[in-house]
A and B are shown apart, each in its own frame.
Chain A
Amino acid sequence: MDDFVLRALAAGCGLALVAGPLGSFVVWRRMAYFGDTLAHSALLGVALGFLLGVNPLVGVVGVCVALALALVGLQRRRALASDTVLGILSHSSLSLGLVAIAFLETLRVDLVAYLFGDILSVTPADLAWIYGGGAAALGGLLLLWRRLLAVTVDEDLARVEGMPVEALRLAFMLLIALVIAAAMKIVGILLITSLLIIPAAAARRFSRTPEAMAALASVFGIAAVLGGLFSSLSWDLPGGPSIVVAAAALFLASVLVPAGNR
């Protein structure tokens, strides 16, 4: 097998491993649209990274965190519904990113690669970022697991029990930002959320504990990456969308499996 295929496999599987547990939380906390919003802002992070001369991934994490903080602030005011605020930030940050990149005339960016991913061009350096960021995200998630579950179930109860609810919420947003930065190269910013939520949604029916759902979501995610990459190479299809289509097919299959093992 060629090196670029091996790197693509390693990158995709590494991402799916982290996306399983984190995506489960996104589903439990009903934050799919929030994840989308953060992902859409990633392009602005790329532009800022180039502008400031730092690694674009650092720019992505920075912009995601800034956006997450802005969201928490806006949601606290409650003047507008949450989905309205998300819609405004999601599309304006994406457009701002596109505009910023157009302004940077010296910069020739493969926009399609950022929007839809380019898994077959993953470099060893990308791989290091994906595994570094992924390991950090997974470690953080494991450390906060029980408390994040408690906060997910009920924030007031968690607060009465003395848990630092705001800090936990921010930490979770930071973990998502990390995964978005790591996933950008693989499925692209428009498709990142699908890799978080589709495998987790497919795993729900077969799980009786949160941990089982998280682990099964990782397995489904890896299966989607393998299936997507295989079809991408066999029929010369775009990698990112093929992975998402494979994940969607898995989800469909999970819905169609007759009930009984619940």
Chain B
Amino acid sequence: MSIHHAAHHAARSPVPSLAPPLVDARGLTVRLGGRTILDRVDLEVRPGEIVTLIGPNGAGKTTLVRAVLGLVRASSGAVERRRGLRIGYMPQRLTVDATLPLTVRRFLSLWRPVTDARIGAALEEAGVSHLSGSPVQSVSGGEMQRVLLARALLSDPDLLVLDEPDQAVDVHGQAELFGRIETLRRTRGCGVLLVSHDLHTVMARTDRVLCLNGHVCCQGAPEDVRRHPEYRALFGGHADALAVYVHHHDHAHATDGAVVPGHDGDCCHG
């Protein structure tokens, strides 16, 4: 961990990183069908920390997330979860069969006994209160992402796990969604583990980046990772574009595209 990272981290995280990790993967190796997907990966997420996994297609990002969730067994190494850890998982996508009549509100009630008031609050927090009575099949991809975020919040999570939350959402929606995630981290103090393709949005919002390509290529504060030779080799020209883009996302966009001042207060729109 570099000095740069430590300073950066202290400046953004509400909780000191000295707290014990929520999840701690050590030497995690996963082989599926004779192929090594993950090779001795170390990963930890602490309370109040946003950790982002990036890497090319087939790098094992989703497999690592599934191992953290307990959906994939480690071939060697281990994933330790803090005792009684509550995980709120937001999958990449979810399609409910059209034959199942289910409103958004009802969809949210399936996972645990929960009051209507709590469902309302979670929908509010995710910014989709207006969808409460809609059939869950009728909401758009971006709206569904927010519904899935609301679902993840209902478990009152210590750790939010978000698999490519930017996938079904356009650029403006992404900035707003990441703004929401950052707010949640601050208000609830939960740790966040997210997978992303969208490098520039991620870079601006994250405490620590883990660049994955089967093994961990490099990790640290976003600025450090961006300078790392292995990262530059993986992302080539995009890596340079980032230096320009990173500042653009200190503000947020509302769904209509209007610019909303960011939380950092150092927005330099341009």
Contacts and interface: CB of A to CB of B under 8 A. Distances in A.
B245 interface: no
A213 B101 contact: yes
A185 B180 CA distance: 58
Interface string A159-170: 111000000000
A201 B71 CA distance: 33
A156 B71 contact: yes
Contacts of B89: 156-157, 160
Interface string A166-209: 00000000000000000000000000000000000100100111
Interface residues of A, number: 24
A212 B99 CA distance: 13
Q: How large is the interface on B (under 10, 10 to 19, 20 to 34, 35 or more residues)?
A: 20 to 34
Contacts of B101: 204, 207-210, 212-213
Nearest to A197: B99
A76 interface: no
Nearest to A27: B99
A160 B110 contact: no
Nearest to B94: A154
A149 B71 contact: no
A146 B110 contact: yes
Interface string A213-252: 1000000000000000000000000000000000000000
Contacts of B102: 153, 209-210
B3 to A, nearest CB: 37
B132 to A, nearest CB: 13
Contacts of B96: 153
A30 interface: yes
A210 B91 CA distance: 23
A207 B103 CA distance: 11
B86 to A, nearest CB: 10
A204 B106 CA distance: 17
Nearest to A150: B110
B94 A28 contact: no
Contacts of A95: none
Interface string A115-157: 0000000000000000000000000000000100110111011
Interface of A: 27-30, 146, 149-150, 152-154, 156-161, 201, 204, 207-210, 212-213
27 contacts: A30-B97, A146-B109, A149-B100, A153-B94, A153-B100, A154-B91, A156-B89, A156-B91, A157-B89, A157-B111, A157-B151, A159-B69, A159-B70, A160-B71, A161-B111, A161-B112, A161-B155, A201-B99, A204-B101, A208-B101, A208-B103, A209-B101, A209-B102, A209-B106, A210-B102, A210-B106, A213-B101
